[in-house]
Structure 1
Amino acid sequence: MSTGTLLAIVIPVVVVVALIVLALVLVRRRRRLRERFGPEYERTVEGADSRFAAERELDERAKRHDELDIKPLPDSARDRFARDWDGVQHEFVDRPEDAVHDADRLVTSLMQARGYPTEGFEQQMKDLSVEHGRTLEHYRAAHEIDTLSAEHRADTEQLRSAMVHYRTLFDELLSDDGGQTRHAPA
């Protein structure tokens, strides 16, 4: 067999094998990102120019997150935050708008205590998406209602809903393991 014939056989085989390996790597990457980001994966893909661009953004979020010093809370801080949440929840009865604003500030304070940067809502969402993608929609909905509330355009049911949404993320951030809800519904 001549060298030309051999190359004509080997080169296409190498190209096909390389394409198969590349496809497998991309499928594994996609699966890993879906598992890590949960619903935030699809949301990011829908908002991006392409799936590749969305996956690149999610990888960048993960790299940034891995550089953060996220830490569990000491028991004393966890207890203090839980008491503060109970206070905010009790405040809701008489001053629902104030309670929602205070819930937002308390969640932000908890994020900061855990080691998350708090330099703006969009960046907070990106940083939280890495470990808390399954509860992120709660934070997004609560923040939207908090914005309406600041303009006095949220009704009591929306404000109650915001408290429930904030509590979902609050409880997850408060636990070390992304754990269980600790409070009864507002």
Structure 2
Amino acid sequence: MSTLTAVLILAVLVAALLAAGVLFRARRGKGSGTRSLKRRFGPEYDRTLERHGGDSESAHHDLRERVERHGGIRPLPLEPAIREHYVAQWTMLQERFVDAPRQAVADADELLTRIAATRGFPDPHRREEQLAALSVHHPSHVEGLRTVRRAVHSASASTEELREALVHARALFEDLTAAGSPAGTEAAGARPASGRHRGHLLKPKGSGA
């Protein structure tokens, strides 16, 4: 084998190794990015992937864009009096569910949107932006707001579906009224109601429960 041939073969091998290294680092970086997004968004990651038809590249672009737009938001604390006011409103709408399920769920949608704006998220007139911001800061429970909105706008939603939507939204309500509490304020004080509200107060009249 001539010296020139040996040099050419060596050059090809080096180029192949370099290409393999670049590909390996790219794949490792992509895998690391996926794990990071999954850790940050939890169940919201899977929901976003599903909304993009399983296209991970589009889902990742969506999630990273949300972080870029809204990750810098620093939620404002709620003053104790304002928190108590919101807690009382949530308790009342739960009780109102017995006689007017659909209106109670619509009220929950409006209340959650208003609390989010009070905490420093996009205002109620930018609902999609508000949802996107909430998905960054409350990824485990933002689906509760989507659920009440779907229920409110579904003419065929049954009373049970409306009840489930309201129960689902409760976790986000608790997040928004407890997170970022002023110093000295116990998060437990932001619980909207005692355990009895999880049960029969959300049962419509005539349900037999």
What TM-score do the two structures reach when normalised by structure 2?
0.75
- 1:58 aligns to what? 63
Q: Name the SS of the counterpart of 2:97 in structure 1.
A: helix
Bigger mean CA offset, 34-43 vs 2-11:
2-11
- 1:129 aligns to what? 135
After superposition, give the CA deviation of every residue in 1:56-98 in whole Å (9 maximum; x if it has no partner): 1110011111233422323332222112212222222333332
> Residue 162 of structure 2 is aligned with which of 159, 163, 176?
159
> Residue 39 of structure 2 is aligned with which of 35, 38, 46?
35
Q: Which runs of 5+ in 1 are unaligned?
A: none
| Partner AA of 2:162 in structure 1 | L
* Higher relative contact order, chain-length normalized (CA < 8 Å, sep 6+): 2
Please say which structure displays the higher CA radius of gyration.
2
| Partner AA of 2:115 in structure 1 | L
Whether 1:170 aligns to 2:151 is no
After superposition, give the CA deviation of every residue in 1:35-57 in whole Å (9 maximum; x if it has no partner): 11112212222332631121011
> Residue 147 of structure 1 is aligned with which of 145, 148, 153?
153
Greater helix fraction, Structure 1 or Structure 2: 1
> Residue 21 of structure 1 is aligned with which of 21, 25, 30?
25
- 1:48 aligns to what? 52
User: 1:176 Cα shift?
Assistant: 1.0
- 2:183 aligns to what? none
Shift in CA distance, 86/64, structure 1 to aligned 2, threshold 3 Å: same
| Partner AA of 1:160 in structure 2 | R
Q: Which runs of 5+ in 2 are unaligned?
A: 181-186, 203-209
Q: What is the aligned-residue identity percentage?
A: 33
Aligned residues: 183
Q: Distance in 2 between matches of 1:162 and 1:10?
A: 60
Q: Distance in 2 between matches of 1:11 and 1:162?
A: 58
- 2:101 aligns to what? 96
Q: Distance in 1 between matches of 2:58 and 2:108?
A: 34
Shift in CA distance, 156/8, structure 1 to aligned 2, threshold 3 Å: closer
Q: Distance in 1 between matches of 2:28 and 2:162?
A: 47
Q: Distance in 1 between matches of 2:162 and 2:31?
A: 42
User: 1:113 Cα shift?
Assistant: 0.8
> Residue 7 of structure 1 is aligned with which of 11, 14, 24?
11
| Partner AA of 2:152 in structure 1 | D
> Residue 85 of structure 1 is aligned with which of 86, 90, 99?
90
User: 1:30 Cα shift?
Assistant: 0.2
Q: Distance in 2 between matches of 1:111 and 1:172?
A: 10
What TM-score do the two structures reach when normalised by structure 1?
0.83
Shift in CA distance, 155/13, structure 1 to aligned 2, threshold 3 Å: closer
Q: Distance in 2 between matches of 1:97 and 1:16?
A: 59
